[in-house]
Amino acid sequence: MATKVFDTAAAAVADVSDGATLAVGGFGLCGIPDVLIQALVDSGVGDLEVFSNNCGVDDHGLGLLLNEHRVRRVVASYVGENKEFARQYLAGELEVELTPQGTLAERLRAGGAGIPAFFTPAGVGTPVSDGGLPWRYASDGSVAVASPPKETRVFGDKRYVMELGINADFALVHAVKGDTAGNLVFDKTAMNFNPLAAMAGKITIAQVEELVEPGDIDPAQVHLPGIFVKRIVHTGPQNKRIEKRTVTASEGAAQ
């Protein structure tokens, strides 16, 4: 069987073409596939639709693709740390589908599990289910594209809204350890969205800090089995960024 290991991130993402859909793992700046994202920036690919919890910050992560106007549409649950993201959205340069965080996670998981849709109580009775959320603004500030109403149904005595599973052309994820067969281990907060994004991708590409041989990872410690992973790049230890540093002066310190 052909190896899943690629020598460089550039080679691993070489066939990501204009207009592709991407599921991207990570939470804030924790566990994001930063090396793979940089490889996409360097490749010049554009017109992308991205499914991710958030869109990085202005100078890191998915924010790098945004800065170069390579992203056409974003489905995310949180966008508060990226000023350029807000500017593009309000200026009508970017289409944004805001989704409750748990719903986004389940949409990715459902897509990976072959479930086309599911019902959830999250968002019932709000514009999430009723429609009207501004997906894209016009240059004059009016709403150019609004979200459509979604199907709702009563189960028992409670109303639920139907949400669609997500499948993406490619998934980009970061793992602390992986083996050459694609089995992955994620570290702490990096568990958020990385396994789910990996499941949702037709071609899942993983950057790993430590690459080992099959059998070197205890099967009980595997967070994502290799059947979901098509390509692996050994990128070494990640330079972990902090989104927003908040510190308190120690008692007695000079103010």
Which run of H or of E encompasses 170?
strand 168-179
Residue 34 CA to residue 39 CA, distance in Å, equals 9
**Mean predicted lDDT score pLDDT of the chain:** 94
Please name which of 21, 30, 91, 97 lies closest in space to residue 61, comparing C-alpha atoms.
Answer: 30
d(CA 125, CA 26): 30
pLDDT of residue 142: 96
Spatial separation of the C-alpha atoms in residues 205 and 173, rounded to whole Å:
6
Task: State the pLDDT at residue 13.
Answer: 98
Residue type (1 letter), 186: F
Q: Per mean pLDDT, which range of 3-7, 44-48, 238-242 is the poorest?
A: 238-242
pLDDT tens for 107-136 read 999 999 999 999 999 999 999 999 999 999
- pTM over cut 0.85: yes
Cβ-proximal residues to 79 (8 Å cutoff; 6+ apart), any chain: 54, 55, 85, 86, 89, 96, 98
> How much of the chain is helix, strand and coil, in % rounded to 5?
25, 30, 45
User: Residue 22: phi, psi to the nearest 5?
Assistant: -130, 130
Q: Quick: pLDDT tens for 193-225.
A: 999 999 999 999 999 999 999 999 999 999 999
Q: Which of 40-54, 126-140, 225-239, 240-254 has the lowest mean pLDDT?
A: 240-254
